[in-house]
Chains A and B, each alone.
Chain A
Amino acid sequence: MLAMLPVLVVHGGAGNVPRQRAELSCAGVREAARAGYALLRSGRSAMDAVVEAVTLLENNPAFNAGCGSVLNEHGGVEMDALVMDGRTLASGAVSAVRRIANPVQLARLVMEKTQHLCLTAEGASKFARAVGVPEVPEETLITDYARKRWQRNLQPGSNPVECQMGKMGTVGAVAVDSEGNVACATSTGGMLNKMEGRVGDTPCVGCGGYADNLLGAVSPTGHGEAIMKVTLSRLILFYMEQGKTAADASDQALAYMWERVQGLAGVVVVDPRGGWAARFNSLQMAWAAAQNGQLHYGLGKGEDFTLPLQDQPAAATQNLEQQHAASTHNLEQQHAASTHNLEQQ
């Protein structure tokens, strides 16, 4: 009999990941899934696990969240994050916050230490100071890659929206712990060259995430404005409420979003019994899932690679790395093929 619980699924953003960044993204989501799952196995809550997984992704410069965030039109970093606890529907969010290394942790503090759900911009910074969350210099959040992309998009004739698809790397996680509690967390630097003060779907409950012990949990990534218009996370859970599986509900909601507002996105979803899904209508989405001693991961359509997750002795790790290399090769070939496809279209 399979142990369905606990389970954790993470994503590292939907879009069209440039080839040289594909392996970084895949390694990052695998690492985050492992760390979150280890917490769940040691008896910690779903909320602890999703915050841990997203913290690692924020700290990883390969993703558009925390360090590695994209820059807004003025070259600044403004980040959004959300957490939600399926036990009580308690939720916390920050929007357009600056100079914070881990917005997801600040969002959790909003949930736990205030009577509010969302704090924005300067008010969020003020709260961070009040609860002793340190401010970091903005420079420490900015990578050369982010700055290069920002400069490229300042040039006349550039097309930020198209370039956007290269890295819509919002990150997120959903989990069910051994007690059957669900939680979600999402964090992002937003859209490349966005207007100052732009808030996307991420910190909006029901759009950038939702968790309810009775139904499941969702964390999305993709074109924020489209996700908001259809309140994507809530929509998926409505479909699950009607008896659909996580995968079917996700596919139906993504198809609906495409039909209504022509949006591209991806989602990771869990139900309280441990069923999970990682689905997307964009070209790619880096994702990883940990359940029953197995790590699943993928990037392109239809991919589902697996690795064992049991306590890993040195030899096994080496083995893993070889498999890594092999699957990377695979990914790159598939990526080349799908890019080719896209060009033909």
Chain B
Amino acid sequence: MCDCEGAPLPSMQPAVKPVVVVHGGAWAIPVGMSEACANGVKTAAVGAFRVLKRGGTALDAVETAVRALEDDPAFDAGRGSVLNAGGEVELDAVVMDGRTLAAGAVSCVRNIANPVTLARAVMEKTDHVMLTDRGANLFADSVGVATVPSDALVTEHEREEWERHQQYSRGVKSLFNSRWDHDTVGAVALDCHGDVACATSTGGIRNKMVGRVGDSPIIGCGGYADNRVGAVSCTGHGESIMKVTLASRILFHIEQGRSPSEAVESCLQYMAERVKGGAGSSQ
């Protein structure tokens, strides 16, 4: 799917078979939740593929997939997000359009049900690539993206987990490495015109410091899309992903002639060796 250079072809004769890949986070999924997660990614992928079949763009497809995952409380993005050290939800998201390298991101935004859609609005309606914190919320107001009450994004399960962690206050890293946390969602797609896109969205790490920004909204870390090479969306220990700029690195290896799976394999291996991080990616 990485060789998609060339002029867009008429959509009546799709020369490129559209494809979408979604992920719902890299972590050791508790038995009780694995079915909900599997169903969630399936539903998201089916919805996004429908968009592609109708001739929709890769950008529309990844947004559709990630919105579905954000709306699904089984995932740590949108509704179902983890709570930070202050007991609040702060969300990060990115989208990138492989045609033009246009990108949009929000970090640490609150009370937004679908951060991926807000990230797309940043890309399409501002001269900027990233808006953060209150500024991102002011922008949401100005373009008519509705805010939702904080409670609407918090599940009962998460509230309980958070309180449990407050009692046994532990470092974020041990939390992640103990694999009791769920994680970031994302999607990559190739449409029938040969265009690629990626989207990633997350509530971050449970008990994170107020204002913590992970890899997700950082271009080249949480995702990257380039028609000449391919598209990547990452999930895992954000700080490790950032240290090796995982998405950029994978695409660079693909550009060097490796297959997507070889590139991912060697980059995850590299990350494990250099910074001892665990992650997954789809491309």
Q: Point out residues on A near B: beta carbons under 8 Å.
A: 78, 88-91, 93, 95-96, 114-124, 126-127, 161, 191, 194-200, 204-207, 210, 224-225, 228-231, 234-235, 238, 260-261
Contact = CB atoms under 8 A, between A and B. Distances in A.
Given A119-B213, A120-B107, A205-B218, 12 more contacts: A95-B213, A96-B135, A116-B209, A119-B209, A120-B108, A123-B90, A123-B210, A196-B134, A196-B138, A198-B135, A199-B128, A205-B245
Contact of A119 (B136, B212, B275): B212
Contacts of A210: 245
Contacts of B107: 95, 118, 120, 199
B138, B209, B275 — most chain A CB neighbours (10 Å): B209
A207 B248 CA distance: 10
Contacts of B224: 231
Contacts of B235: none
Interface residues of B, number: 47
B102 A229 contact: yes
A120 B103 CA distance: 19
A121 B212 contact: no
Contact of B221 (A114, A197, A205): A205
Nearest to A84: B243
Given A95-B132, A225-B127, A234 B220 contact: yes
Contacts, number: 160
B211 A120 contact: yes
B248 A206 contact: yes
Contact of B239 (A116, A120, A123, A194): A116
A227 to B, nearest CB: 10
Contact of A229 (B103, B127, B173): B103
Interface string B160-204: 000000000001110000000000000000000000000000000
Contacts of A206: 218-221, 242, 245, 248
A195 B126 contact: yes
Could you tell me the dominant secondary structure of chain B's interface residues?
A: mixed
B131 A197 contact: yes
B238 to A, nearest CB: 8
Contacts of A120: 107-108, 132-133, 211-213
Contact of B132 (A88, A114, A197, A260): A197
B209 A123 contact: yes
Contacts of A95: 107, 132, 213
A298 B64 CA distance: 50
B38 interface: no
Contacts of B242: 91, 117-118, 205-206
A229 B129 contact: yes
Nearest to B126: A195
B120 interface: no
B122 to A, nearest CB: 9
B211 A229 contact: no
A161 B226 CA distance: 26
B211 A121 contact: yes
Interface string B100-132: 111101011000000000000000001111111
